[in-house]
Amino acid sequence: MLVLLPPSETKREGGDPGSRLELEHLAFPELTAERRTVVRAVADLAQDAEAAARALKLGPRQAAEVERNRVVESSPTMPALLRYTGVLYDPIDAASLDAAQLAFAGRHVAVHSALFGPVSATDPIPAYRLSHDSRVPGVRMKAHWAASVRAVLADVPGLVLDLRSEGYAALGPRPGHEDAAVVRVVARGEDGAVRALNHFNKKAKGELVSALVRGGRDLGSVAELLDWAEGAGIELTRGAPGELVLVAAAH
């Protein structure tokens, strides 16, 4: 089982003292060359603060984001699941996971970054600023990542659960087999009707990942996932081909 998450623009500061980015030690080492190209391009761009702010669509109060990129190759690292914060990551609450749960996440959860491609939940990464639609000189994000990421994901056996946003999914389409599925979130209102859920769909996805990680079961297929969800009290059903529908409580 592999659960694919989108990254978050918000990230924790700091990291483990004395640590620094080691691209060759990240999961999916087949992507090392692609990672190095983007990391160096982003660090070079950050040498010109004004140009970097324009490329990253940053305002005057976000100068610290450019500085993060300038020192991305030398700044301290922490596990990806701890680095990212925000609506999706808050319910996972990585800091509260015990050693076995964190190790399970490291084996079965990946975050798809625009800077690194997909990385394991426990891969050590620095703070940075880059989005799927950022314009970095010399690097067109979709063209740079899509074929390589598609290839590494195609080698993942069994269940691939895609919780990424469309922008990040375009940087590496999931496999086309029957046990690779994207999750669409809907809400059930008091009238019993379901409707698309926008902002809070991230929270629902985070709650699903939290349950999977804390449950600690390596689910091998969509059928096994649906059986597990029913037992866990999670309303998850088949939707259109290649799609699962997660029903969340209305907010």
User: Domain coordinates of the chain in residue numbers?
Assistant: 2-249
- Chain segment 59-93, per-residue pLDDT in tens: 888 889 999 999 999 999 999 999 999 999 999 99
Both tokens of residue 122?
């426990």
Four-residue CA torsion sign, 68, 72, 75, 78: positive
Read off the pTM: 0.94
Min mean pLDDT across 101-105, 133-137, 211-215, 227-231 is at: 133-137
Of 207 and 60, the one with more pLDDT: 207
**For 208-243, what is each residue's pLDDT tens digit?**
999 999 999 999 999 999 999 999 999 999 999 999
Q: Rounded to the nearest 10 degrees, what angle do helices 99-108 and 201-215 cross at?
A: 110
pLDDT mean across residues, the chain: 94
**Tokens describing residue 34:** 């692609």
CB crowding 41-78: b at 16 or more within 10 Å, else e = bbbebbeeeeebbebbebeeeeeebbbbbbebbebbbb
Q: Would you state the pLDDT for residue 199?
A: 62
